[in-house]
A and B are shown apart, each in its own frame.
Chain A
Amino acid sequence: MSRRYDARTTIFSPEGRLYQVEYAMEAISHASTALGILAKDGLVIAAEKKVASKLLDETKGGEKIYIINDNMICGVAGITSDANILINYVQTAAQQYLYTYNEDMPCEQLVQKLCDLKQGYTQYGGLRPFGVSFVYGGWDEHHGFQLYHSDPSGNYSGWKATCIGANTASAQGILRQEYKEEGVTLQEAKNLAIKVLSKTMDTTSLGSDKIEFATLELVDGKVVRRIFNQSEIEALLKENNLLTKTEEAK
């Protein structure tokens, strides 16, 4: 039955579904995991990198976590080339807002801008939707720290903890159990993030070269963004007793 209605993005199926959008989400469920956790005094975004080959020449920093502006970062899951287009769009949109209003773009507005673009590809143009989901983490002075998640349909929502990509069912389950209702500190959030990542990663050996990790926090009233380098990730793994034997032997 579904065969007839999946070729075009711009038509509904008889059951009221948009197949192209669902297929896009299917593509994302095969991508490596990215998750975000909101803390009382900051937030964490962590992601699993696709298998790194030693032949890969890593010039550009990171394929999973990106900087949008001074106040926002985001994690990506899905088709990386689609993600690059969207990241470029949202970076430009943030600068355009700064140019017009001389103020940093509020987090939710930025998410909405990107979601409006994604929605367009599900309603007109005849082009396929973007095969990317995002988890955004940012701070603005009106709403403090915020975490959002958007998907190829252009839908978004705010979260205290969320994840995208592969194994989200199990990751979300662990987050639901472990996240404290009254809120967590940044340190607890970092530990929880690394713990959840380790449980959902396919590979048996957890290495610092397979993880991307970033935090946002307020220091002296200013937003400070930290993109962890390999040794810092290793230290975090060690703190949480997650280093495998091969790492410890080094």
Chain B
Amino acid sequence: MEYNGGAVVAMVGKNCVAIACDKRLGVQAMTISTEFKKTFQVTPKTYIGLPGLATDVQTLAEKFRFKVNMYKLKEEREIEPRTLAHLVSSTLYERRWGPWFVEPVVAGLDKENRPFICSTDLIGCINFAKDFVVSGTTSNQLYGMCESLWEPDLEPEDLFETISQALMNAVDRDCLSGWGAEVTIITPDKIITRTLKSRQD
């Protein structure tokens, strides 16, 4: 899990959610890309963050696209975030004895536009959180930053500031993460994605 590096965090706000990730891809100490984003849009109102072993990040992103497309064709509706969380969990547990080296984060709004976030471990144990979830090599630092900066019912602009500060300062204490960040705010009417410039080291 500490071969490529990476960080993902998601937070709940007032009628919105935010998900953010760093953009570094490395091979242990050597950085080889600064455009490796770890968040992926799954439906118009749901995102999934996949930090961990980069090859598994890519493969799982593609696997989930497959499964979500089939879901949409059969159910004739978009998948809800809570359901996606269970889909992620079952997909990971299928490989209980030879797991995917990722620890996903799901963030989105359900059909009533209520915020939803959760994270899972590499074998699919879901952590349903009400406030924030963290994942990746920077998880300990992110726990500290989120615990101190987060407060309930933040408006989208304030949530953006909070999640950005949490991510930026946490990755500065982790040599395997950083090199830029991407923050996505999901609200009932629109999704705004912003790229942050950070310390390039």
Contact = CB atoms under 8 A, between A and B. Distances in A.
A95 B66 contact: yes
Contacts of A91: 70, 73
A98 B69 CA distance: 10
A83 to B, nearest CB: 14
A95 B70 contact: yes
Nearest to A91: B73
Question: Which bucket holds chain A's interface residue count?
Answer: 10 to 19
A60 B66 CA distance: 22
Given A99-B63, A102-B62, A69 B69 contact: yes
Interface string A69-97: 10000000000000000000001100110
A223 interface: no
A11 interface: no
B62 A99 contact: yes
Interface string A47-69: 00000000000001100000101
Contacts, number: 21
Question: Which bucket holds chain B's interface residue count?
Answer: under 10
Interface SS majority for chain A: helix
Contacts of B66: 95-96, 98-99
A99 B76 contact: no
A92 B65 contact: no
A136 to B, nearest CB: 15
A96 B66 CA distance: 7
B41 to A, nearest CB: 15
A92 B76 contact: no
Nearest to A97: B66
Contacts of B70: 91-92, 95
Nearest to B72: A67
Contacts of A69: 69, 73
Contacts of A61: 76
Interface centre among A60, A98, A99 (most CB of B within 10 A): A99
Contacts of A95: 66, 69-70
Nearest to B63: A99
Nearest to B62: A99
A69 B65 CA distance: 12
A237 to B, nearest CB: 25
A99 B65 CA distance: 8
Interface in A184-206: none
B160 to A, nearest CB: 29
B32 to A, nearest CB: 20
Nearest to A66: B73
Contacts of A92: 70
B65 to A, nearest CB: 7
Nearest to B76: A61
A56 B63 CA distance: 37
A40 to B, nearest CB: 29
Contacts of B69: 69, 95, 98
A60 B75 CA distance: 9
Interface of A: 60-61, 67, 69, 91-92, 95-96, 98-99, 102
Interface of B: 62-63, 65-66, 69-70, 73, 76
Given A91-B73, A96-B66, 19 more contacts: A60-B76, A61-B76, A67-B73, A69-B69, A69-B73, A91-B70, A92-B70, A95-B66, A95-B69, A95-B70, A98-B62, A98-B65, A98-B66, A98-B69, A99-B62, A99-B63, A99-B65, A99-B66, A102-B62
- 5 shortest interchain CB distances as A-B pairs: A95-B66, A99-B66, A91-B73, A99-B62, A95-B69
